[in-house]
Amino acid sequence: MMRILVITLGVAWLGASFGANQELIAVKLGMLQGQASPKERLSDYERGLEAALFYAIGENDKRLNQCGYELEARLSYFDDDDKLSAKERAQALEKEGAWAIFGPLSSYPFLVARKGLTETAMVSAMAGARAVTSLPPPFFTMYPAIDELANGAVVGAEKGVFGRHYGALIDASCPSCKDFGEEFARQSQGKFERLFWID
């Protein structure tokens, strides 16, 4: 019985020491977000994103290491005022070997950044324009579809005491805003009367 215990402990020790000496495969995850000015300090929001990312890595490090992987974050901020900088930063993340890129949050920079990628997956938490949701893999968004959002707005407006007239003031630089306005108009046809549309 003692021999079995010693052999078992020896095998367990060899397995543990092999795992400890095993070289970990680096999984590089990129985060791509807009910034008002690259020369300014990060906003509370941007620092919060970074903190959440590093917290998630810390929470999962041990389990991933046991499987032979090590997460590495690659943070990249593009200049919101430079319309092409999202593409340039996405290309740089891909060249650094990012397995996947999280961000940008908005539809327009997401579409621009996508043009700089040839093989890296990109996931946005909030980009919701039809031009984003209709992209083939490896481009994804976690945001609900525009038709679902418009349906919720129509149902909510029908239940409320808002009347039957509405107007639309659309930010022309926001593709998902325009998509939402058009979908709301389509779904509310015969239920509400649109008085104006400005974009």
**H or E segment to which residue 21 belongs:** helix 2-21
Sheet strands (E) in 67-111: 69-79, 100-102
Domain boundaries, the chain: 20-141, 146-198
pLDDT at 19: 52
The residues, any chain, with a CB within 8 Å of residue 31's CB and separated by 6 or more, are 49, 50, 53, 73, 74, 75, 76, 101, 102, 103
pLDDT at 18: 45
Q: Please tell me the distance from the alpha carbon of residue 120 to that of residue 97, in angstroms, as a whole number.
A: 9
Q: Pairing relation of β-strands 69-79 and 100-102?
A: unpaired
Whether the Cβ atoms of residue 162 and residue 132 lie closer than 8 Å to each other:
no
Total-model pTM? 0.76
The residues, any chain, with a CB within 8 Å of residue 170's CB and separated by 6 or more, are 177, 178, 181, 197, 198, 199
Whether the Cβ atoms of residue 158 and residue 191 lie closer than 8 Å to each other:
yes
- Reported as a single tens digit per residue, the pLDDT across 111-151 is 999 999 999 999 999 999 999 999 999 999 999 999 999 99
Question: Between the CA of residue 132 and those of 30, 108, 123, 136, 181, what are the distances in Å?
Answer: 19, 9, 10, 9, 16
pLDDT at 57: 85
Tokens of 2: 């003692």
Our separate counts of H helices and E strands in the chain read 7, 7
Average pLDDT over residues 153-178: 88
Q: Please tell me the distance from the alpha carbon of residue 96 to that of residue 99, in angstroms, as a whole number.
A: 9
CATH of domain 20-141: 3.40.50.2300
Tokens of 140: 């994804």
Counting residues of the chain whose pLDDT is more than 90, the rounded percentage is 54
Average pLDDT over residues 72-92: 92
